[in-house]
Amino acid sequence: MNSIEGILIFRAILGLGIGFITPLMNALVAEYFDGEDRSKMNGLTVGVNGLSGAFFLIIGGAITALGWRGVFWTYCLWRGFAHFSIAVRAIQRDFVHLLKHV
């Protein structure tokens, strides 16, 4: 797809995906962490979101050497990895807590 309409459509899809993932991460943090740990994880989540946006603004020009699709794929992979790692940590912590009470 090499039209502006296609780019706008897929940019909207990316925005919707991020719009669904970010509240989900906040819900996971609220569910699995309490007190100071919750504050740390909320800070980590906000930090990852902010840094990933700044990171891709800075190096976006270099990534375009991969073509315009490269920017979207790289952004999706970075955000996906960051949020996945936070979710794994939350689930791992819950699993360890469960094992202690068995």
Tokens 């912590």, residue located: 93
Same domain, residue pair 88 and 60: yes
Total domains present in the chain: 2
C-alpha–C-alpha distance, residues 75 and 52, integer Å: 8
Same domain, residue pair 1 and 49: no
32: tokens are 């699995």
Contact (Cβ atoms closer than 8 angstroms) between residue 41 and residue 86? yes
Residue spans of the chain under pLDDT 50: none
This prediction has a pTM of: 0.51
C-alpha–C-alpha distance, residues 73 and 28, integer Å: 25
Domain residues for the domain of 91 are 35-101
Contact (Cβ atoms closer than 8 angstroms) between residue 35 and residue 96? no
pLDDT at 22: 80
Express each pLDDT in 47-60 by its tens digit: 887 887 777 777 77
